[in-house]
Structure 1
Amino acid sequence: AVGYSTAHENGQAASEHVAVYVLTSPLDDTSWSLLGDAMAAAQGLLTADQEMGGGVVTLSARGGVLAIGSQDGAKNTVVLLQWSRLSNSWEGLGTNNVLEGESSSSHFGASLVLNKEGTRLFVGAPGAPGSSNVGKVFIYQYLELENEWKQLTDPIPSLVAGDGM
């Protein structure tokens, strides 16, 4: 999974996109193909608030779950998508597949990690307010029966001020 940006004529980022590529031949590690379409706000997979998403992406080890961070967007969000073999496209995973940060300056989604199954997500927010230190890690679990993402614990605060966590 890769995130990339497109630019306006004046050099400012117009939007960022996400694309997922798969190895098409196990014998030749140079043959890759696009899985589904490249995603952007204009295609309806990301909303206008998440248009700056794509700078940070993570894909589960099994390749079926994708998290896209939009920490520079208006709302500091993470969008969770699942690959559907039936529709041959990426679809929202869970009824609450858009997770939001605490504030616009939290940079929620600056770092993302999914477990291999794509059911547990760690979200870094280096600008999230804390007691004396800045930065937090949020941990979410996907609950299949409820079809939703749930925050597991209180956010884990940074141990050292200014560590960029």
Structure 2
Amino acid sequence: MPVAAIEEIRGRVAQEIGVSDWLLIDQPRIDQFADATEDRQFIHVDPAGAAQTPFGGTIAHGFLSLSMLSRMAAEAMLIPDSAKLALNYGLDRVRFISPVRSGKRIRGRFRLDSVEEKAPGQLLFRHTVTVEIEGEEKPALTAEWLGLIFV
């Protein structure tokens, strides 16, 4: 994660702070996620069956796209230079907007919404993340993501 002074980070509230690189969501990744979560619905793992749906082929699980936020954040989120530990604190809102078809690439666009002191030595960061699908107008998802930073 890119590192910055907390004063610099606070100065970036209400601004886009980073965009991740593109990540390929291919069928092997979808199949591995299906195995890990035991969600093997045919629209994810059966190319022939999924071809008969309005999607025209397999699509990624919404939760697969959401789970990639951690990977995307490693490239795009700012973390205070005084951070001792950063934890995923949860999500306040998630909306799955468009399916991610197998073979497409996604990336995360991060906007810092707020930084507040939760307790002494603890900062609660709120980000709005938009997961874009390469070449498509609508994003895969939007999420309000919370991170707890110990400084």
Q: TM-score, normalised by structure 1?
A: 0.26
Q: TM-score, normalised by structure 2?
A: 0.28
Whose radius of gyration is greater, 1 or 2?
A: 2
